[in-house]
Structure 1
Amino acid sequence: MIKKEWYLEYEINKNRPGLLGDISSLLGMLSINIVTINGVDDSRRGLLLLSETNEQIVRLESILNTMDTIKVTKLREPKLRDRLAVRHGRYIQRDADDKKTFRFVRDELGLLVDFMAELFKRQGHLLVGIRGMPRVGKTESIVASSVCANKRWLFVSSTLLKQTIRSQLIQDEYDENNLFIIDGIVSTKRANEKHWQLVREIMSLSAVKVVEHPDIFVQNTEYKLQDFDYIIELRTNPDEEITYEPVQSNRMFDENPFGGFDF
């Protein structure tokens, strides 16, 4: 019989010694295996479980709901956010109004890399936008995630090492297993029509594309934010405002283009 994974998360109402032991014993009596367990914030615990039948999970939920020491908050087939919450001990922050926007701060780079790597492993078209101020770690996180996902990354436009604006690819670079990185500021402020023809070719590929500064990108192209499958925001701290004021200065472009940006 094929076993099935489940994600259980509960909030601790009354923390007492032996609480986890009681729940582990209950799982054992129901022949449900614990795959992974971790705290997912100060008062919640998450578990990845393995069961042979759905009836085991129904019985588990029924019993847990009678316990006054905990409150079950999730019992479902695990989503990507659930797996990462157990792995890293914290939940990825998701925008309450825009469900495809996820927020990270700089000290969560490990979680961010893990999250993007799981996205990049998917086959077919995927369009991801990433927002953030200079030197916060956007490009480095994309490259690290590509390595984890076993994908070859290609800079279509970038300023990571030097300003890159490509107008053509060689034949093997059109491989749909490659990951294409586009800097929205560089492409919209410095590129020519040949570059844009290449960008349109890449956007039509059934491959993973990552656009840094998607807001600038969509302001100057036919693409829209609705075209993005995921939007990721990376900040130094939770209260940091992401602004594009520095790139609005013509003086900046004339004297030292992108000199203040470490994408």
Structure 2
Amino acid sequence: MEKKEWYLEYEIQYNRPGLLGDISSLLGMMAINIVTINGVENSHRGMLLLCKDEEQIIRLKSILDTMDTIKVTKLRRPKLRDRLAVRHGRYIHSDVDDRKTFRFNREDLGVLVDFMAELFMKEGHKLVGIRGMPRVGKTESVVAASVCANKRWLFVSSTLLKQTVRNQLIDEEYREDNLYIIDGIVSARRASEQHWQLVREIMRLPATKVIEHPDIFVQETEYKLDDFDYIIELRNNDDEVITYETVEKPDMSMSDGFSMFDF
């Protein structure tokens, strides 16, 4: 029988010497292997476990529940957030009301890149939105995650190095394993109808698309926020409010008009 991974997380109620050794010994006696172990914020510890039989996990849970030194908070098949919590020693926080929205600070860029890379490595269509103020690191994080996921990225619209607005792609750029990056502000405010035809073609591809400034994108298109599989929010700090008040409707006869979002 093939071994399966499980995620165990517990909160330490009384941190006495030898506590981790006792738990490790218990797992060893039950023929459950520890793959990875790390502290996970505050007094929590997380472990990735490997065992053959689910009955072993049920027995483990019943034994751990009798221990007054710890409180089991999670014991389940590992989710992406569990793996990253053990890897980085911290949780990835999601919105209380919208579980597909995940929040990061600039100091968490390493975690964010790892998180997005894991998403990008999954096959098939994924629509990811990323919110954030200018120069917080949105595009750079997406590109870095693409590299980690061994994906080729294509800017359909962007302002990373200079303003990019693509109206067509060459044949080899239409690939399901490519990652397409669209700046919602640039596309919504400055693009031609030819560009929007290209965007619609790309949106129909079973590939990963990342939309920067998704709120502006949906205001100007037929797409809705419900169409997104994940929404990522990146801030400089916890108190920062992501706002688009500085985005002005440009005079279409002029080449500028983006205020601080034109970077």
Identify whether the pair has TM-score above 0.5, normalized to the shorter chain: yes
Structure 2 residue aligned with 1:188:
188
Q: Using the alignment, how far apart are the partners of 1:165 and 1:4 within structure 2? A: 46
Change (3 A) 1:262 1:2: farther
User: Shift of the alpha carbon at 1:191?
Assistant: 0.3
What does 1:9-24 correspond to in 2, within 5 Å? 9-24=9-24
Instruction: Single out whichever of 56-65 and 240-249 deviates more from structure 2.
Output: 240-249
User: Shift of the alpha carbon at 1:261?
Assistant: 3.6
Structure 1 residue aligned with 2:210:
210
Matched AA of 1:94: S
Structure 1 gap ranges (5+): none
Count, aligned residues: 262
Structure 2 gap ranges (5+): none
Instruction: Determine if the alignment matches structure 1 residue 85 to structure 2 residue 105.
Output: no
Q: TM-score, normalised by structure 2?
A: 0.96
Q: Using the alignment, how far apart are the partners of 1:245 and 1:133 within structure 2? A: 11
Change (3 A) 1:125 1:30: same
User: Shift of the alpha carbon at 1:248?
Assistant: 2.3
SS of 1:203's equivalent in the other structure is helix
Structure 2 residue aligned with 1:154:
154
SS of 1:260's equivalent in the other structure is helix
What does 1:106-185 correspond to in 2, within 5 Å? 106-185=106-185
SS of 1:233's equivalent in the other structure is strand
RMSD: 1.5
Q: Using the alignment, how far apart are the partners of 1:122 and 1:259 within structure 2? A: 37
Contact kept in structure 2, 1:135 and 1:262, CA below 8 Å: no
User: Shift of the alpha carbon at 1:260?
Assistant: 3.1
Q: TM-score, normalised by structure 1?
A: 0.96
Change (3 A) 1:193 1:151: same
SS of 1:63's equivalent in the other structure is helix
User: Shift of the alpha carbon at 1:109?
Assistant: 0.4
Structure 1 residue aligned with 2:58:
58
Q: Using the alignment, how far apart are the partners of 1:255 and 1:223 within structure 2? A: 26
User: Shift of the alpha carbon at 1:257?
Assistant: 4.3
Q: Using the alignment, how far apart are the partners of 1:178 and 1:259 within structure 2? A: 31
Q: Using the alignment, how far apart are the partners of 2:10 and 2:121 within structure 1? A: 30
Change (3 A) 1:236 1:86: same
Contact kept in structure 2, 1:160 and 1:262, CA below 8 Å: no
Matched AA of 1:148: C
